[in-house]
Chain A
Amino acid sequence: MGGNFTWVMIGCALIGAGASAVGVFSFLRKQALVGDAVAHALLPGVVLAFMFTGQKDIWILFPGAFVAGWLGLLSIDIISKNSKIKPDTAIAIVLTVFFAIGIVLLTHVQQSNYGNQSGLEAFLFGKAAAMLPADITLFVAVDAALILLILLTYRYLKLYSFDPDFAKAIGLPVKGIQFILSSLTVLAVASGIQAVGVVLMAALIITPAAAARFFTGRLSHMIILAMIIGIVSSLIGVYISSLALSMPTGPWIVMVLSIIAIMTFIFAPGKGMLQRSRKRKAHQQKVRRENLLKLFYALGENNKEEFYSRPQLLRSRRFQGRELEFLLSRMTARGLLLRKENRYGLTATGKSEATRVVRLHRLWELYLNERMNIAPDHVHHDAEAIEHIITPELERELLKDLDYPELDPHRSEIPGIKDMQR
Chain B
Amino acid sequence: MNDFWIIAEGSLVAVSCGMLGVYLILRKMAMVGDAISHAVLPGIVIAYLVAQSRSSFFTLLGAALFGLLTTFMIELFYKKARIQQDASIGITFTWLFAIGVILVSAFSGNVDLDQECVLYGDIAYVPFDILYLFSTDVGPAPVWLQGFNLLAILILLRVGHRGFLITSFDPSFSSGLGIKTDAWHYVLMGAVSFTVVLSFNAVGAILVVAFLVVPPATAYLISKRVETMMAYTVLFGILSAVGGFYLATWWNASISGAMAVAAGILFMLVFAGKRLSVKQRKALAISDLSTNS
Q: How many chain A residues have a CB neighbour from B under 8 Å?
A: 65
Partner of B213, one of A82, A92, A105, A202: A92
- Mind listing 30 A-B residue pairs with CB under 8 Å? A31-B86, A32-B84, A33-B89, A88-B86, A89-B217, A91-B31, A92-B33, A92-B213, A93-B30, A93-B267, A96-B214, A100-B263, A103-B256, A104-B248, A104-B254, A104-B258, A107-B253, A111-B252, A111-B253, A199-B38, A200-B101, A203-B91, A244-B105, A247-B102, A251-B97, A251-B99, A255-B98, A261-B91, A271-B82, A277-B80
- Stretch touching chain A among B2-10, B52-60, B191-199, B203-211: B203-211
A84 to B271, CA, bound (A): 11
Bitwise interface map of B from 76 to 94 toward A, beta carbon under 8 Å scored 1, else 0: 0100111110111111001
Do A206 and B105 touch (CB < 8 A)? Answer: no
How far is the CB of B243 from the nearest CB of chain A, in Å?
13
* A273 part of interface (Cβ distance < 8 Å): yes
Q: Which of A85, A93, A111, A205 is most buried by chain B, counting CB atoms within 10 A of its CB?
A: A93
Do A108 and B251 touch (CB < 8 A)? Answer: yes
A88 to B33, CA, bound (A): 11
Bitwise interface map of A from 103 to 140 toward B, beta carbon under 8 Å scored 1, else 0: 11111100110000000010011000000000000000
List B4-43 residues whose CB lies under 8 Å from chain A: 25, 28-31, 33-34, 38
A31 to B85, CA, bound (A): 10
Do B253 and A108 touch (CB < 8 A)? Answer: yes
Q: Which of A35, A88, A124, A205 is most buried by chain B, counting CB atoms within 10 A of its CB?
A: A88
* A33 in contact with B254 given A83-B271, A92-B30 (CB within 8 Å): no
Do A83 and B80 touch (CB < 8 A)? Answer: no
* B119 part of interface (Cβ distance < 8 Å): yes
A104 to B275, CA, bound (A): 28
* A101 part of interface (Cβ distance < 8 Å): yes
Chain B residues close to A by CB (< 8 Å): 25, 28-31, 33-34, 38, 77, 80-84, 86-91, 94-95, 97-99, 101-102, 105-106, 108, 115-116, 119-120, 206-207, 209-210, 212-214, 217, 220-221, 247-248, 251-254, 256-261, 263-264, 267, 271, 274-275
Question: From A40, which residue of chain B is reached at the shortest CB distance?
Answer: B206
* A251 in contact with B80 given A33-B31, A96-B260 (CB within 8 Å): no
Partner of B102, one of A32, A85, A252, A262: A252
* A255 in contact with B99 given A105-B253, A247-B105, A265-B81 (CB within 8 Å): yes
* A89 in contact with B30 given A107-B257, A246-B105, A258-B98 (CB within 8 Å): yes
* A27 part of interface (Cβ distance < 8 Å): yes
Chain A residues contacting B89 (CB-CB under 8 Å) are 33
Do A79 and B91 touch (CB < 8 A)? Answer: no
List A263-293 residues whose CB lies under 8 Å from chain B: 265-266, 271-273, 276-277
Question: From A200, which residue of chain B is reached at the shortest CB distance?
Answer: B94
* A93 in contact with B82 given A99-B207, A100-B207, A261-B91 (CB within 8 Å): no
Nearest 7 CB-CB pairings of A with B: A100-B260, A97-B264, A203-B94, A258-B95, A103-B257, A96-B210, A107-B254
Q: Which of B31, B106, B120, B274 is most buried by chain A, counting CB atoms within 10 A of its CB?
A: B31
Chain B residues contacting A365 (CB-CB under 8 Å) are none
A107 to B116, CA, bound (A): 10
* A254 part of interface (Cβ distance < 8 Å): yes
Chain A residues contacting B82 (CB-CB under 8 Å) are 271, 276
Chain B residues contacting A250 (CB-CB under 8 Å) are 98, 101
* A17 part of interface (Cβ distance < 8 Å): no
Do B217 and A210 touch (CB < 8 A)? Answer: no
A89 to B259, CA, bound (A): 19
How far is the CB of A244 from the nearest CB of chain B, in Å?
7
Do A85 and B213 touch (CB < 8 A)? Answer: no
Chain A residues close to B by CB (< 8 Å): 27, 30-33, 35-36, 40, 79, 82-86, 88-89, 91-93, 95-97, 99-101, 103-108, 111-112, 121, 124-125, 199-200, 202-203, 205-207, 209-210, 213, 244, 246-248, 250-252, 254-255, 258, 261-262, 265-266, 271-273, 276-277
How far is the CB of B223 from the nearest CB of chain A, in Å?
11
Do B97 and A200 touch (CB < 8 A)? Answer: yes
Do B207 and A254 touch (CB < 8 A)? Answer: no
A258 to B42, CA, bound (A): 15
A252 to B99, CA, bound (A): 8
Q: Which of B80, B87, B221 is most buried by chain A, counting CB atoms within 10 A of its CB?
A: B87
A263 to B205, CA, bound (A): 28
Do B80 and A273 touch (CB < 8 A)? Answer: yes
Do A251 and B260 touch (CB < 8 A)? Answer: no
* A254 in contact with B261 given A89-B30, A99-B206, A112-B252 (CB within 8 Å): no
Do A273 and B263 touch (CB < 8 A)? Answer: no
Question: From B93, which residue of chain A is reached at the shortest CB distance?
Answer: A202
Question: From B85, which residue of chain A is reached at the shortest CB distance?
Answer: A30
Do A92 and B209 touch (CB < 8 A)? Answer: yes
Do B120 and A92 touch (CB < 8 A)? Answer: no
A112 to B252, CA, bound (A): 8
Partner of B260, one of A97, A124, A207, A271: A97
